[in-house]
Amino acid sequence: MPKTDKTKKAEEKETQNVEQTEQNVEDGNVVPQESETVGDGVPQKKESETEKLKDQLLRAMAEYDNYRKRTARERIELEADIKAKVVIEFLPMLDNLERALQADCKDENYKKGIELIKSSFLETLKNLGVEEITEEDFDPAVHQAVQHVEDEKLESGKVAQVFQKGYKIGNKIIRFAMVSIVK
């Protein structure tokens, strides 16, 4: 295939550019471009890209570590909340078992069965970390006062009677104790 005038001119121009570059290199007039090596032989552009990528990697690693820690904390908090919600739903059954034990019953085996069920239930609650609120001094953080009474035998501010037991898991109150207090 014969070469056209345009092709011949392009080849001549390319040849001139190559010759000019060779002449500049021989004369020492070459100015390094960004991608050419500077100093220790490492390309400057690649070095800056490497630093940028390292920075991005460190930031991504730190972000992932923070995410992992945050989700672990949220999981622990969520577990405690779920446990408390489930226990709250079962506490009325415990109250009913206690009422059944207080009722008069002629059949001792029946009463003993109720006691065994209650003790099993309390053991399960204990295994879940549920504790009964037993403070005798009135504390509004754990007690709900529903009645004031006068009693010469007890000091003012003491719990006179517990109407409904309160329960907590660790420091979290899941049900306040409903009490009457002495004036």
In the predicted structure, residue 180 carries a pLDDT above the cut 80: yes
The residue ranking higher by pLDDT, 39 or 66, is: 66
Contact 177, 165 (CB under 8 A): yes
Q: Kindly report, residue by residue over 15-39, the tens digit of the pLDDT.
A: 666 566 666 555 655 444 444 444 5
58 within some domain: yes
Q: Can you tell me the distance from the alpha carbon of 113 to that of 96, in angstroms, rounded to the nearest whole number?
A: 14
In-domain check, residue 48: no
Banded model confidence at residue 135, pLDDT cuts 50, 70, 90:
confident
How many domains would you assign to the chain?
2
What 8-state DSSP symbol labels residue 136? S
Among 99, 128, 157, the domain-final residue is: 128
Give the structural domain span for 68.
Answer: 53-128
Structure-token pair, residue 26: 């021989």
Considering the domain architecture, whether residues 113 and 174 belong to the same structural domain is answered as no
Report the C-alpha gap between 115 and 103 in whole angstroms. Answer: 12
Domain identity same for 174 and 111: no
Length of the chain as a residue count: 183
What is the rounded CA–CA span in Å between residue 141 and residue 136?
13
Q: How far apart are CA 81 and CA 79, in angstroms?
A: 5
**CATH, residue 138:** 2.30.22.10
Same domain, 84 and 68: yes
Residues with Cβ within 8 Å of 44's Cβ and at least 6 positions away in sequence, in order, are 34, 35, 36, 37, 38
